[in-house]
């Protein structure tokens, strides 16, 4: 099975900073990758699918890129409401594995 890794596992940044999270697949998955945001105590929320398509209603400061094995989620200007754990997920084929998550907080 394809394994998903994320880096870093956690980060602390200042409001307004540009934040980048990396997701790596152990084998190529084309662009079958989604990103989710889970705020503390809340249900996960879809941010991005097909590696770079923003889900309706998601702020434009979020963006995704990548294809094959290496992907990134970027927050162009970190806001206090972006404190959350971010997960990538592969869906090219079952199992539809999630990455281990990246916890983002405010410095």
Partner 1 sequence: EVQLLESGGGLVQPGGSLRLSCAASGFTFNSYAMSWVRQAPGKGLEWVSAISGSGDTPYYGDSVKGRFTISRDNSKKTLYLQMNSLRAEDTAVYYCAKSPSGSYYMAYFDYWGQGTLVTVSS
- The contact set with partner 1 (CB under 8 A) reads 1, 34, 36, 38, 43-46, 49, 55, 85, 87, 89, 91, 93-101
Is the Cβ of residue 61 or residue 103 nearer to partner 1 in the bound state?
103
Shortest separation between residue 49's beta carbon and partner 1, angstroms: 5
Neighbours of 19 (CB within 10 A): 20
Dihedral sign, Cα of residue 17, residue 105, residue 56, residue 65: positive
Structure tokens at 64: 């995704």
Shortest separation between residue 64's beta carbon and partner 1, angstroms: 12
Burial of 9 (0-12, 13-18, 19+ CB in 10 A): exposed
Is the Cβ of residue 17 or residue 97 nearer to partner 1 in the bound state?
97
Shortest separation between residue 16's beta carbon and partner 1, angstroms: 28
């Amino acid at each position: 099975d394809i394994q998903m890794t994320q880096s870093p596992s956690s980060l602390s940044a200042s409001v307004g900073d540009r934040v980048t999270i990396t997701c790596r697949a152990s084998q190529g998955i084309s662009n079958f990758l989604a990103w989710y945001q889970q705020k503390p105590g809340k249900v996960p929320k879809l941010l991005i699918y097909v590696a770079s398509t923003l889900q309706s209603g998601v702020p434009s400061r979020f963006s995704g890129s990548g294809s094959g094995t290496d992907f990134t989620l970027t927050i162009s200007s970190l806001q206090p409401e972006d404190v959350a754990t971010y997960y990538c997920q592969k869906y090219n084929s079952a199992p539809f594995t999630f990455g281990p998550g990246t916890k983002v907080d405010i410095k």
